[in-house]
Structure 1
Amino acid sequence: MTPEIDLLVNPRSGRGRAAVTAVRLKERLREAGADVRVLVGHSAADSRRLARLSAADRPHALVAVGGDGLVHQAVQGVVGTGVPLAVIPAGTGNDIARAFGRPGRSTRDTAAAILAGRTRATDAVRLRLDDGAERYFLSVLACGFDARVNERVNGFRFGVGRAGYVVGLLSELRSFTPTDFTVDVDGRRIEEPGMLVAVGNTSAYGGGMHICPDAVPDDGLLDVVFLRAAPLSRFVRLFPLVFSGGHTGLEQVVVERGRSVAIRGEAGAVYADGERIGPPPLVCDVVSGAVEMLDLTS
């Protein structure tokens, strides 16, 4: 039986790197005998639509070639369907690709791993907003300071990743004030002013910032990191610790773990997988084994 592979591509990712990667991967997959269909999303909504159409056709795999934002749209299509998802990093942050293992060195090896079809069931997070809208995410939800930094970074004309995030961080510090948060984790409540709340299914965001360093994407639990209000001068000294994950032992940081997380507070828009979602209140629920991730590491 001829394997059918769908490549979902954001041609703008990585300043065009995704388009080049997709062409090379398509050639290698076809050389190996696969029937390959290339799906080009011209917007986030278009990519999400294409991912859902692909999953409905039940291909052997949906392969997302781009950054975390494209993977986020692909997840909306495959979640709960059993259609395997592969991630080919061709964006700027690529935190999801790092969490699930980067593909082999050569395009030929990557094509072979896709066709081998080895999968790993991973959790997804169902995000419910106050208006009834639902989305799923794979990595980290950011609410508060880090989400506002994302707002700034998304307005930059040039590349982001870690360096762009730091520039956005320094810009946001000029006007940021703490938020009065109410966070419930499986019924345990945090209610006080805070700088940010992060809900992690995986450990990192922002191009390798380990905000939830102990998060494991297949343990059926969410890691919650809450940073209490602090003077900006102290916050500036502490925040760089997120690059190594060393912040979780500080007295200003509360770490919880649970299956359901509810967040309230006038914190502005939240981001999940680096994508703008909407404002609190919101609820995050882990959905165990909801996505079959293709193992591309061997």
Structure 2
Amino acid sequence: MGNKGFLFIFYQAAGKKKKADINALVLDRASKAGLNKDDIFLVYSTSKASSQFLIDRFSEKYRVGVVVACGGDGTVHSIGNLMIDTALTFAILPLGTGNDFYAGLYGNRSVKDQIDHIFKGKTSETDAIYIPELDLHTMNILSVGADANVVFQANDFKEKHKFLQK
């Protein structure tokens, strides 16, 4: 068994931030936190099955470990469902467009600050709701729907004015 390990799972298509820059930032912050770089894993996943494989292998090596979903709300939901029945800690590195779930938990905390919080072991609890018809869990925050309406209207506007999409 190794020390405490950190598995950062990036969804291959998620996020617009430069992955090399994020990788360098993670490794830099790990070094500053005094962590062994051999206990930091930065991996890319293309499917739920590959993410499950990575988590299973990681949990075999690290009894005490943190799995970090690196992406947007979809990545968080997917990795979070794979983490439900593990003893590992689940964390989020917000690399998506909206990051609504993350923002509901942490506000406008920067990526650098979130990495530091992850390495320091600072956690927040959230509820997971099981949906038996889908055999899935959902993590949720309370919303009055205004944010969803803004996203809907922004997407509608982009469709009507394609030249503004860039």
Structure 1 residues 15-57: Cα deviation after superposition (integer angstroms, max 9, x where no partner)? 3445532442133213423220112101344234434544554
Alignment of 1:114-133 (within 5 A): 114-129=118-133
Could you tell me how far apart the structure 1 residues matched to 2:26 and 2:66 are?
13
Could you tell me how far apart the structure 2 residues matched to 1:2 and 1:29 are?
14
Secondary structure, counterpart of 1:120 in structure 2: coil
2:26 aligns with 25
Could you tell me how far apart the structure 2 residues matched to 1:102 and 1:26 are?
24
2:137 aligns with 136
Could you tell me how far apart the structure 1 residues matched to 2:55 and 2:154 are?
28
Displacement of 1:127 = 1.7
Contact 1:78–1:85 (CA under 8 A) maintained in structure 2: yes
1:97 aligns with 102
Alignment of 1:244-255 (within 5 A): none
Could you tell me how far apart the structure 1 residues matched to 2:128 and 2:43 are?
23
Q: TM-score, normalised by structure 2?
A: 0.69
Secondary structure, counterpart of 2:124 in structure 1: strand
Structure 1 position 63 matched with structure 2 position 68: yes
Structure 1 residues 136-155: Cα deviation after superposition (integer angstroms, max 9, x where no partner)? 12138xxxxxxxxxxxxxxx
Secondary structure, counterpart of 2:126 in structure 1: strand
2:14 aligns with 13
Match of 1:74 among 79, 83, 86: 79
Structure 1 residues 124-182: Cα deviation after superposition (integer angstroms, max 9, x where no partner)? 111222xxx61212138xxxxxxxxxxxxxxxxxxxx92676429x99xxxxxxxxxxx
Contact 1:18–1:66 (CA under 8 A) maintained in structure 2: no
Gap runs ≥5 in structure 1: 141-160, 172-298
Q: CA RMSD in A?
A: 3.3
Could you tell me how far apart the structure 2 residues matched to 1:91 and 1:81 are?
25
Aligned residues: 147
Q: TM-score, normalised by structure 1?
A: 0.41
What amino acid is aligned across from residue 93 of structure 2 in structure 1?
Answer: I
Could you tell me how far apart the structure 2 residues matched to 1:19 and 1:139 are?
30
Could you tell me how far apart the structure 2 residues matched to 1:41 and 1:71 are?
13
Could you tell me how far apart the structure 1 residues matched to 2:86 and 2:5 are?
16
Could you tell me how far apart the structure 1 residues matched to 2:80 and 2:12 are?
18
What amino acid is aligned across from residue 156 of structure 2 in structure 1?
Answer: V
Task: Flag the 1:121–1:80 CA change in 2: closer, same or farther, 3 A.
Answer: farther
More helix by share: 2
Displacement of 1:117 = 1.1
What amino acid is aligned across from residue 123 of structure 1 in structure 2?
Answer: D
Task: Flag the 1:163–1:134 CA change in 2: closer, same or farther, 3 A.
Answer: closer
Task: Flag the 1:94–1:110 CA change in 2: closer, same or farther, 3 A.
Answer: closer
2:114 aligns with 110
Structure having the higher Rg: 1
Gap runs ≥5 in structure 2: 142-149, 161-166
2:43 aligns with 39
Displacement of 1:102 = 4.4
Secondary structure, counterpart of 2:34 in structure 1: coil
Secondary structure, counterpart of 2:130 in structure 1: strand
